[in-house]
Amino acid sequence: MQRALHGDDDAYAMLVREHQEAVYRLAYLFVGDADDAEDVAQETFIRAHRALHTFDQTRPLRPWLLSITANISKNHRRAAGRYLAALKRALFEAPPAARIEAESARQMEAQALWDAVRRLNTTDQEVIYLRYFLELSVAETAEVLAIEQGTVKSRLSRALGRLKGVVEDGFPQLVEDYR
Amino acid sequence: MTPEHEENWEVQLRDIARQLAYPPTPDIAGSVYGTLHPRRQARTTRLVLRFGTMVAVLACSLLLVPNIRAQVLETLRLGDSAVRIEQIQPTTQAVTNPDVELAVPDSTMPHRSILDLDGVATSIVQARAIFPYPVRLPTYPENLGQPDVVYVLKTGHPYVVLGWLNENGSDLALSLHMVDSDSYVAKQFFDDYKTETITTTLVNEREAYWLTKPHQVEVYANNSGLLDKYAWDVINHVLIWTAGPLTYRLETYVALEDAVLIAESLQ
C-alpha cells in the first residue's frame, strides 16, 4: 500500500490483483454483463488510483473499493439503457443449451435468485449483494455503504421482506427455501 | 416474517447465492497497469529527453579525445544489462507437432542449451519467493505438469525460466520465460524481434510475435560490478507476448496455434 501510494505501479497492480475478483463480481451483479462489468472494474481501480492519497490507510481497502464499484455500477446502468438491455437478456432470453446442461440445479436456483433480486430497487439490491452474494460481514457492509451497522440490519430486514414478496409472485422454485 | 423465519431465510439465501456462476474474472490488474503506465512513461520520457540531450552534448565533446573515448566505451559495455540476438546457421529443421507432444526432433546440432547455464537453477518455490509477480504455469497441454527445471537469471529484474524436459531428459522440450516488461531485457527482446519476426499473432487479443528462425540469445547482467553473460541457442520457435506487467517468451517446438493455446492457458 505504501509503495502504491508513492507511485509504484507494480505495487498497485498487486493490490488490484488481490481485490479484482470481489470488485468484478459486484460490478457483474449490478450490470449483468461480463464486458460491462470488466469496464466498471477497470474504472473502479483507475479512479481508486487517482484518489489513493485521500484514502484513510487505517481502514480496510476492500470496502472502499467496493463502494466505488457500487457507485460506478449504478451510474453505468443508468446510462443508455444498458441495464435494461442486460436485464431483458437475463430475464427473457433462453440460456444456451450447453449452459443449461452444464449448470447444476443449484446454479439454476442461484440464477433465479439473482433474477428475483434484480427486480428490487437499487438500495435493496446493493445491501443483498454485499451481504449475501459477496458475503461481507455486517461491519464491512456498513463500511461500503457508509452507514451504521444497525442501519445495515434494518435495511437488510426490509429488503428481505420485499424479496420474499418478489419470490412468492414470480419464482415459485425458490419458495420452498424460505418456508 | 418472524425473526426465526428471517434467520432461516438468510441462511438459505446465502447458500443459494454462493452457487451463482460468475464469468471468470478477467485480468483487470493487467489492463489497469497498461492504462496507468503510458501516462507515467510519457512524463518520465519528457524528463529523460531533456536530461539526455544535455548528457549527449557533453558526451560527444568528451568522445573527441581518443583515450577518453576508449575508456567510456568499455565502461558503458560493463555498466548495464543487455540482450543480443544473433542468427545461427541451422543444421536441422525445427518441426511442428500438431499432437502437442513436447518432443524435441532428433538433432545432432550442437547447441548451447539453457540447461547449461551455471548457478541459476532453483526451485519453483524459490522462484516464486524471488519473483515479484505470480509465477503462472501453463495448463495446456493438460498433461504438462510442473516444470522439470526452474532458473532465475540475475539480470536487473529477476528473469525466470521454467523448463520442461524432453522424454530422455537431454534437452528442453519447452521453456517459458518471464520478466518485468520494464526491464531492459524485455524491451530489447521486443525491439529485436520486431525487426526479425515474420509472423505477428494474438495472445489474449494482444499483439504477439512468432519467430521460427534459429538464433542465439545473450543476456548480460551486471551483478555488483561483475559481468555475467547468459547465452543459449534457440533452435526451435519463439512466441513472445506481454500480459499485465510481464513479458513472456515461450521457446517450443509446437506449431503457432498450439503455442498460443499454451500462452493463453497460464494460470
**Residues of B whose CB is below 8 A from A21:** 25
Number of C-beta neighbours around residue A104 at 10 A: 10
Q: What is the distance in angstroms between the Cα of A174 and the nearest Cα belonging to chain B?
A: 9
Q: Where are the alpha helices (DSSP H) in chain A?
A: 2-5, 9-31, 34-50, 61-78, 82-92, 97-102, 105-117, 122-128, 138-145, 149-170, 172-178
Do the bridges between strand B226-234 and strand B172-180 make them parallel or antiparallel, or are there none, so unpaired?
Answer: unpaired
Confidence at residue A3, expressed as pLDDT on a 0 to 100 scale:
76
Helix (H/G/I), strand (E/B), else coil: A46: helix
Confidence at residue A176, expressed as pLDDT on a 0 to 100 scale:
62
* Residue B141 at interface with chain A, using a CB cutoff of 8 Å: no
CA closest to B39 among chain A residues: A9
Average pLDDT taken over every residue of chain B: 74
CA closest to B32 among chain A residues: A42
Confidence at residue A99, expressed as pLDDT on a 0 to 100 scale:
47
Q: Check CB contact under 8 Å for A110 and B19.
A: yes
Q: Which residue ranges make up each domain of chain B?
A: 1-78, 80-264
pLDDT band at B56 (very low <50, low <70, confident <90, very high): low
Confidence at residue B219, expressed as pLDDT on a 0 to 100 scale:
76
CATH code of the domain made up of A94-179: 1.10.10.10
Confidence at residue B197, expressed as pLDDT on a 0 to 100 scale:
57
B window 159-218, beta carbon within 8 A of A: 180
Task: Give the residue, B155 or B222, on which the prediction is more confident.
Answer: B155
Q: Tell me what the mean pLDDT of segment B121-149 comes to.
A: 88
Task: Give the residue, B228 or A177, on which the prediction is more confident.
Answer: B228
Q: Tell me what the mean pLDDT of segment B7-24 comes to.
A: 87
Confidence at residue B180, expressed as pLDDT on a 0 to 100 scale:
87
Interface predicted TM-score (ipTM) over 0.85 = no
Q: Check CB contact under 8 Å for B8 and A37.
A: no
Nearest CB neighbour to B23, from listed A17, A28, A163: A28
CA distance B114 to A34: 41
Do the bridges between strand B159-165 and strand B149-153 make them parallel or antiparallel, or are there none, so unpaired?
Answer: antiparallel
> Which of A164-168, B81-85, B113-117, B194-198 is predicted most confidently?
A164-168
Most B CBs within 10 A among A20, A118, A136, A179, hence the mutation to make, goes to A20
The pTM of the whole model exceeds 0.80: no
- The lowest-confidence range among A88-97, B64-73, B165-174 is A88-97
- The lowest-confidence range among B53-62, B70-79, B153-162 is B70-79
Q: Is the pLDDT of residue B175 over 90?
A: yes
Cell representation of residue A110: 442461484
Q: What is the distance in angstroms between the Cα of B79 and the nearest Cα belonging to chain A?
A: 25
Q: Is the pLDDT of residue B108 over 50?
A: no
Cis peptide before A60 (omega within 30 of 0): no
Average pLDDT of each block of 10 consecutive residues along chain A (179 residues)?
A: 74 87 94 89 89 83 92 72 50 46 72 91 93 93 92 92 88 67
Q: Which residue ranges make up each domain of chain A?
A: 1-81, 94-179
Nearest CB neighbour to A13, from listed B6, B8, B32: B32
Residues of chain B with pLDDT > 70, as a percent, come to 65
- The lowest-confidence range among A28-32, B38-42, B54-58 is B38-42
For residue range B82-96, what is the model confidence (pLDDT) as tens digits?
555 555 543 333 333
Confidence at residue B42, expressed as pLDDT on a 0 to 100 scale:
52
Q: What is the distance in angstroms between the Cα of B38 and the nearest Cα belonging to chain A?
A: 11
B133 contacts: CB under 8 Å, gap ≥ 6: A10, A14, B178, B180, B244, B245, B246
Q: Is the pLDDT of residue B205 over 80?
A: yes
Domain A1-81 has CATH 3.20.20.70: no
Identify whether the C-beta of residue B243 lies closer than 8 Å to the C-beta of residue B266: yes
> Which of A7-11, B230-234, B235-239 is predicted most confidently?
B235-239
